[in-house]
């Protein structure tokens, strides 16, 4: 995707896209909603809402078991979502798409099943300083259980993981390398292909936390070359409570189950249980059927959009927002990587982020305030929290202007004017 092509942003029909998202017409405290909290969760377009509604209204049924019309229809819709997602991620095989609750569960699955079965005392797991807690804590737990050691690649002042520092921390002791495709707190895009190649040269297995990438770009797991890729449906315009773990068949086949229960077995006796084939071996219990179907609808929706136009539009908004925010006196942008997406984290001199949030909310501006589940990132910059405006393709320059105006109001209030 090339954001520098000749004005593709002009071809991206923002008003038509906005019309697909009914929530964008809501009023908040009597003001139009300015939704800039997309990194936390994105809004849902009509086709996703319709898919959920239709499932519950017309064919709600459990899957993979009932031999009746509704069960067959639900099973087919759920499995067709799996096929769509496999195609969307360019996964070699649809049985490599494991439905989970989201990125957090996907990473926990790998940390619990894969990591604890391969790690030995003295082995190393390598992560980076910009990870979300979901890509830190599961590895700490796995290391505690196995005696392996967690290593962390630092970030520079701009919030980038430098490739030579990354490579320098790899060794024959490194067995697993886990890093974000895109940082949720800083917006930094990691060079995932390069990092994957480096990790593979050291003989490690690579898992990528793609929670923040899937909403902004087309992800091709084969082009990246990683071994596992985790994502959340709710950040890519799909429902909450559903996500994906993609993994290589050769690894998934060897991994022990993550949870035991229904659907993940072929036969059960008290003496011995035979586990089911992929992907069901990792999908114990009744899944989030509506969620899976809704995520398929989200993928269809994204597939039909002009990906180049979206990239260019978001690139334009990021540049515009960076320019506008930089002009505010006392504003410090946290995360200024050369290669970043539309996440703008910042502090305002003399005003605690938690004091800003209610004023912004009152103006209808929804942003996230806090450590963004990335406390080590906050520690790196010696700040307790930031305000984070995170942009999706349905945002506009007017949304940025509203944020800037609301921040001016914050400053006026706190300077006593």
Question: Which residues are at the interface with ligand 7TS (CB under 6 A)?
Answer: 39-40, 102-104, 132, 134-135, 180, 184, 209, 211-212, 232, 368, 372-373
Shortest spacing between CB 121 and ligand 7TS, in angstroms: 28
> 278: Cβ–Cβ under 8 A, 6 or more apart, which residues?
95, 96, 98, 249, 252, 253
CB of 36 to ligand 7TS, least distance (A): 12
Provide the minimum distance between the beta carbon of 212 and ligand 7TS in the complex, in angstroms, as a whole number. 5
Cβ closer to ligand 7TS: 12 or 381?
Answer: 381
Q: Closest Cα to residue 136, out of 368, 372, 341, 337?
A: 372
Among the options 373, 396, 401, 414, which is catalytic?
Answer: 373
Torsion of CA 116, 232, 383, 150, to 10 degrees: 10
Q: How far is the CB of 32 from ligand 7TS (least distance, A)?
A: 23
Give yes or no: 143 in active site.
no
Please report, for residues 124, 227, 329, the alpha-carbon distance to residue 178 in angstroms, rounded to integers and kept in the order given.
Answer: 11, 10, 38
Q: Which is nearer to ligand 7TS, 103 or 113 (CB)?
A: 103
Considering the complex, state which of residue 52 and residue 265 has its C-beta at the smaller distance from ligand 7TS: 52
147 dihedral zone (left: phi>0; alpha: psi -120 to 50; beta): left
Quick one: DSSP state of residue 271? S
Q: Which residue number is nearest to ligand 7TS in terms of Cβ?
A: 184
Min dist CB 211 to ligand 7TS, Å, is: 4
Burial class (CB in 10 A: 0-12, 13-18, 19+), 34: buried
Q: Which is nearer to ligand 7TS, 313 or 368 (CB)?
A: 368
Asked whether the beta carbons of 247 and 108 are under 8 A apart, the reply is no
Instruction: Report the nearest approach of ligand 7TS to the CB of residue 16 (Å).
Output: 28
Q: Closest approach of Cβ 245 to ligand 7TS, in Å?
A: 11
For 104, phi then psi, to 5°, come to -60, -50
Residue 182's SS3 state is strand
Residue 132 Cβ vs ligand 7TS, minimum distance, rounded to whole Å: 4
What's the chain's length in residues?
417
Largest Cα–Cα distance of the chain, in whole Å? Answer: 76
Per DSSP, helices labelled H in 192-244 are: 192-201, 221-224
Find out whether the peptide bond into 273 is cis, omega within 30 degrees of 0. no
Nearer residue to ligand 7TS within complex by CB, 12 or 35? 35
Nearest-angstrom CA–CA distance, 244 and 208:
12
Q: How far apart are CA 82 and CA 100, in angstroms?
A: 12
Looking at the Cβ atoms of 174 and 345, the one nearer to ligand 7TS is: 345
CA distance 103 to 106: 5
Cα–Cα distance measured from residue 58 to residue 70, given in angstroms and rounded to the nearest whole number: 8
Beta strands in 222-315 (DSSP E): 228-232, 243-247, 265-268, 273-275
Q: Which is nearer to ligand 7TS, 137 or 251 (CB)?
A: 137
Nearer Cβ to ligand 7TS (48/312): 48
Is the alpha carbon torsion for 317, 323, 328, 330 positive or negative?
Answer: positive
Query: Where is 144: in which H helix or E strand?
Result: helix 137-146
The residues annotated as belonging to the active site are 373
């Amino acid at each position: 995707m090339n954001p520098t092509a000749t004005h593709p942003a002009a071809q991206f029909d923002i008003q038509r896209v906005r019309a697909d998202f009914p929530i964008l017409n809501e009023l908040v405290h009597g003001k139009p909603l300015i939704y800039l909290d997309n990194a936390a969760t994105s809004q849902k377009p009509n086709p996703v809402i319709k898919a959920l509604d239709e499932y519950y209204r017309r064919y709600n049924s459990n899957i993979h078991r009932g031999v009746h019309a509704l069960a067959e229809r639900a099973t087919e819709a759920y499995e067709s979502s799996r096929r769509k997602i496999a195609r969307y991620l360019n996964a070699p095989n649809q049985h490599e798409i494991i439905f989970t609750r989201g990125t957090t569960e996907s990473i926990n699955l790998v940390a619990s099943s894969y990591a604890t079965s391969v790690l030995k005392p003295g082995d190393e797991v390598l992560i980076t300083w910009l990870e979300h807690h979901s890509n830190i804590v599961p590895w700490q737990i796995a290391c505690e259980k196995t005696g392996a050691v967690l290593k962390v690649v630092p970030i520079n002042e701009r919030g980038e993981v430098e490739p030579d520092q990354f490579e320098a921390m790899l060794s024959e002791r490194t067995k697993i390398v886990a890093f974000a495709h895109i940082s949720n707190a800083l917006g930094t895009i990691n060079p995932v292909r390069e990092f994957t190649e480096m990790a593979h040269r050291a003989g490690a297995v690579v898992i990528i936390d793609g929670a923040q990438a899937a909403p902004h770009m087309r992800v091709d797991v084969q082009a990246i070359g990683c071994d596992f890729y985790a994502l959340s449906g709710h950040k890519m315009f799909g429902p909450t409570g559903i996500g994906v773990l993609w993994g290589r068949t050769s690894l998934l086949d060897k991994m022990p189950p993550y949870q035991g229960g229904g659907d993940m077995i072929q036969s059960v006796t008290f003496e011995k249980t035979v586990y089911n084939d992929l992907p069901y071996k990792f999908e114990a219990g009744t899944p989030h059927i509506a969620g899976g179907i809704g995520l398929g609808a989200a993928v269809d929706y994204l597939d039909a959009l002009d990906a180049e136009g979206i990239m260019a539009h978001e690139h334009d908004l990021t540049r515009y927002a960076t320019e506008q925010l930089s002009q505010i006196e006392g504003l410090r942008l946290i995360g200024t990587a050369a290669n970043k997406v539309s996440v703008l984290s910042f502090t305002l001199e003399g005003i605690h982020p938690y004091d800003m949030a209610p004023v912004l909310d009152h103006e209808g501006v929804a942003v996230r305030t806090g450590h963004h589940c990335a406390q080590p990132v906050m520690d790196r910059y010696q700040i307790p929290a930031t305000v984070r405006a995170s942009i999706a393709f349905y945002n506009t320059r007017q949304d940025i202007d509203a944020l800037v105006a609301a921040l001016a109001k914050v400053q006026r209030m706190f300077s006593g004017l």
